[in-house]
Amino acid sequence: MTRRALTLTTLLLLAVAATGCACACRQAPVAEAAAAPVAPAQVAAPADTTPPPPPPSPEETTLTVVGQSAPPFTVATLGGEPFSLAAHKGKVVLVNWFATWCGPCKAEMPHLKDRVWAAFGGNPDFVMISVAREEDAAKVAPFVAERALPWLIGLDTDRSAYARYAEAYIPRNHVIGRDGTIIFQSEGFEESEFAAMITAIAGALAAR
């Protein structure tokens, strides 16, 4: 083989080697990318199947207890005069909390009229007031007129008076003795409760 042929052969081999090296360099990043770890897929958290807690009972939302001093309050009345509980200390006071939209309140009103007011309304030492919670005179006046309710009607338009006695639930009744302490209270309407309420009122009126 001539020197020229050897030279050409040598140059050809060098060119092939260089080409192979260049290809390996270009492929290296691809190989690294393929080997990189794959991020795990996001898995949705399981749905919360825990049932919500039950609503509080009427008793759990009551803020007063029998034997404590009745929280003082003042409300406007349908007649326009303010009613202050403190002004009636020395008398027996029945405070009835209601609303015109409340079904049990509507059912209770005839019993208040026929069994409580009829028995004690003429006693000068007895005061009875039904306080409408979060309602104004425009809503309450027709309700009272339709039922011909003869006792005092209060307007607790901002719920501030009611909030001293309970967090929720109407109707409610509080009988307050001559010394200003609560001697009877009830939540909701049950006909059977009226016997106990009447007994409490009668006993307080008899006490001096």
Phi, psi of 97 (to 5 degrees): -100, 130
- pLDDT value, residue 49: 80
The single-letter DSSP state of residue 117 is I
Inform me whether the pLDDT recorded for 8 exceeds 80: no
Closest to 195 measured CA to CA, from 184, 187, 206: 184
For 27-64, give the DSSP string. Answer: HHHHHHHHHSPPPPPP-PPPP--PPPPPPPPTTTTB--
Rounded mean pLDDT of 105-128? 98
The single-letter DSSP state of residue 66 is T
The tokens describing 155, both together, are 């307007």
Phi, psi of 109 (to 5 degrees): -55, -45
pLDDT digits (tens, 9 = 90+) for 25-38: 333 333 344 445 55
pLDDT digits (tens, 9 = 90+) for 146-175: 999 999 999 999 999 999 999 999 999 999
- pLDDT value, residue 40: 57
- pLDDT value, residue 118: 98
The tokens describing 141, both together, are 């006046």
The single-letter DSSP state of residue 137 is H
Q: Around Cβ 120, how many Cβ atoms within 10 Å?
A: 18
Inform me whether the pLDDT recorded for 42 exceeds 80: no
The rounded percent of the chain whose pLDDT value lies above 70 is 78
**Tokens 């008899």, located at residue:** 206
50 compared with 21, residue with greater pLDDT:
50
Length of the chain, in residues: 208
Closest to 105 measured CA to CA, from 56, 158, 149, 44: 149
pLDDT-derived band of residue 193, with 50, 70 and 90 as boundaries? confident
- pLDDT value, residue 208: 76
pLDDT-derived band of residue 52, with 50, 70 and 90 as boundaries? confident
pLDDT digits (tens, 9 = 90+) for 10-19: 444 444 444 4
- pLDDT value, residue 89: 96
Question: What average pLDDT does the structure give for the chain?
Answer: 85
Rounded mean pLDDT of 45-49? 74
> Residue 119 in contact with residue 157, Cβ under 8 Å?
no
- pLDDT value, residue 62: 95
Inform me whether the pLDDT recorded for 43 exceeds 80: no
- pLDDT value, residue 46: 72
